[in-house]
C-alpha cells in the first residue's frame, strides 16, 4: 500500500513538473475551490465542481502518459502517433470545456453571486470536528507538497518533513483546543506526539531535523486554522 502511494505521488510530481498545461489547470482548480468557499453553493454544486475538476486533471494525467508511451514505442514521426496525441489532446479539451460550462452555470446563478457566509464556512466556524478535519487534511497536504520537491526521490518513509510527526502534533493541538484548553490534555497529547516523533527517529526513518520540521508544520498550520475559523 505504501509503495503504491509513493509511486502515485511520484507520477503526479513528474507530470506537474514537466507539463505546463497540467500546472495551469491545477492552479485554476485551486482558485476555483478557494472561490467556492466565498459563494453560496449547495452541496450538490460543490460535489459537481470537484467531479469536473478531477475529470480535467485525470484527463491531463492520461494525456501525459499516452504521450510518453507513444514516444517510447517510436522515436520517428509516425501518422498514428500523431493521431493518438491529437485524440488525447481532444479529450483534454472536451473535459476542460465541460468543466468551464459547469462552472459558468454554477457561479453565474443570481443566488450564487450573492457573496456572503457559505455552507462550507459555516460548517468550519460552528462545527469544530469539521475544522479539525480541515486542519489535519491541510497539514497532510502541505507535508506531501513539501516532499514532492524531491521529484523522483519522493518517499512516504523518510524525507523532509515527517508526515507522521506533522499529523501527530496537529492532532495534539486539536485535542488541546477541543478540551477547552485543558493543560492535562495538552500534556498527554504532547507525550503521544513526541512518542511518534521518537519512533520515527529510532527506526532511522527520519532525522531529528525532519521530525522537528514536521512538528513545526503540524503545530503552526493547525494553530493558524483554528485561530482563523473558530
Q: What is the C-alpha to C-alpha distance for residues 206 and 161, in angstroms, rounded to an integer?
A: 8
Alpha helices of 2-42 — where are they, by DSSP H? 2-18, 20-36
Which among 19, 45, 60, 114 is annotated as catalytic?
60
* Known active-site residue 114: no
Average pLDDT, the chain: 78
3-state helix, strand and coil shares in percent for the chain, rounded to the nearest 5: 80, 0, 20
More confident residue, 124 or 147: 147
Same-domain check for residues 132 and 214: yes
Last residue of a domain, one of 116, 138, 166: 116
Of the ranges 25-34, 35-44, 147-156, which one carries the lowest mean pLDDT score? Answer: 147-156
Q: Would you say 148 and 161 are in contact if contact means Cβ atoms under 8 Å apart?
A: no
How many other C-beta atoms are found inside a 10 Å radius of the C-beta of residue 146? 17
Domain count, the chain: 2
Percent of the chain beyond pLDDT 90?
A: 3
pLDDT in tens, 72-123: 776 666 677 778 888 888 888 899 899 889 888 888 776 655 554 455 555 5
pLDDT tens digits, 187-213: 888 888 889 888 888 888 888 888 888
Instruction: Tell me the backbone φ, ψ of residue 112, rounded to 5 degrees.
Output: -70, -35
Q: Give me the domain span that covers residue 104.
A: 2-116
Instruction: Indicate if 144 and 214 belong to the same structural domain.
Output: yes
Q: What does the pLDDT average to over 39-46?
A: 77
Please indicate, yes or no, whether residues 86 and 167 belong to a single structural domain of this protein: no
pLDDT at res. 55 = 92
* DSSP code of residue 2: H
Examine residue 122 and state whether it is found in any structural domain, yes or no. Answer: no
Please check whether residues 209 and 171 belong to one and the same domain: yes
Amino acid at each position: 500500500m505504501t509503495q503504491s502511494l509513493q509511486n502515485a505521488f511520484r507520477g503526479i510530481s513528474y507530470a506537474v513538473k514537466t507539463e505546463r498545461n497540467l500546472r495551469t489547470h491545477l492552479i485554476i482548480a485551486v482558485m476555483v475551490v478557494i472561490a467556492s468557499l466565498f459563494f453560496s453553493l449547495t452541496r450538490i454544486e460543490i460535489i459537481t465542481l470537484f467531479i469536473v475538476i478531477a475529470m480535467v486533471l485525470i484527463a491531463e494525467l492520461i494525456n501525459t502518459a499516452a504521450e510518453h508511451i507513444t514516444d517510447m514505442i517510436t522515436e520517428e514521426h509516425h501518422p498514428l502517433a500523431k493521431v493518438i496525441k491529437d485524440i488525447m489532446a481532444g479529450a483534454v479539451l472536451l473535459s476542460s470545456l465541460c468543466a468551464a460550462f459547469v462552472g459558468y452555470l454554477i457561479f453565474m446563478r443570481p443566488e450564487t453571486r450573492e457573496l456572503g457566509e457559505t455552507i462550507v464556512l459555516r460548517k468550519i466556524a460552528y462545527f469544530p470536528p469539521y475544522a479539525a478535519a480541515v486542519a489535519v487534511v491541510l497539514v497532510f497536504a502541505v507535508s506531501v507538497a513539501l516532499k514532492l520537491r524531491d521529484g523522483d526521490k519522493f518517499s512516504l518513509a523518510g524525507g523532509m518533513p515527517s508526515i507522521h510527526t506533522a499529523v501527530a502534533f496537529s492532532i495534539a493541538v486539536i485535542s488541546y483546543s477541543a478540551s477547552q484548553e485543558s493543560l492535562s490534555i495538552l500534556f498527554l497529547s504532547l507525550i503521544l506526539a513526541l512518542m511518534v516523533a521518537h519512533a520515527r527517529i529510532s527506526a532511522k526513518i527520519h532525522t531529528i531535523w525532519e521530525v522537528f520540521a514536521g512538528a513545526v508544520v503540524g503545530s503552526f498550520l493547525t494553530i493558524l486554522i483554528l485561530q482563523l475559523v473558530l
